[in-house]
Amino acid sequence: MTTSSLRTLGLTALAVAGLTDILDSVLAITVGDDADRPPSGVLIILIVTGIVSFAGYLGRGGLIAAYAARLVATFLGIPAFIFHAPVWVMVLVTIGIVLSVAGIWLTLPALRRTAAVRA
């Protein structure tokens, strides 16, 4: 695989991880029990981080924003394991974390600056 195809695969992984955040939030609002539902602020932040995860397609600055969004979403997902959330929540959080790590790993070389060429 070439570097550009790995980068594209990483960007796609970040975007799909963002989709899992949005899906998790929508399902928690519509399907989840009131006792299992996270606070409204957490749901709003997850929706925002899901949307910002698509910013990686916008260039270097967008990629840094997507990294930050995935980091916040990962930290917000960890309590699902501590407080024994429903299984579907833990599955979506696990998928999001795995895709976040893979996406960051595959797109990290894109943040390197190329050395200046002397003429």
What domain range includes position 56? 3-110
**Whole-model pTM?**
0.83
Quick one: pLDDT at residue 119?
64
CA distance 15 to 35: 29
Q: Tell which residue, 80, 55, 79, has the closest CA to residue 66.
A: 55
Q: Tell which residue, 1, 3, 2, has the closest CA to residue 110.
A: 3
Q: Which one-letter DSSP state was computed for residue 108? A: G
115 in a domain, yes or no?
no
117 in a domain, yes or no?
no
Q: What is the pLDDT of residues 51-70, one digit of tens each?
A: 998 888 888 888 899 999 99
What is the CA 58 to chain-centroid distance, rounded?
16
116 in a domain, yes or no?
no
Number of independent structural domains in the chain: 1
119 in a domain, yes or no?
no
Q: How would residue 109 be classed by pLDDT, with cut points 50, 70 and 90?
A: confident
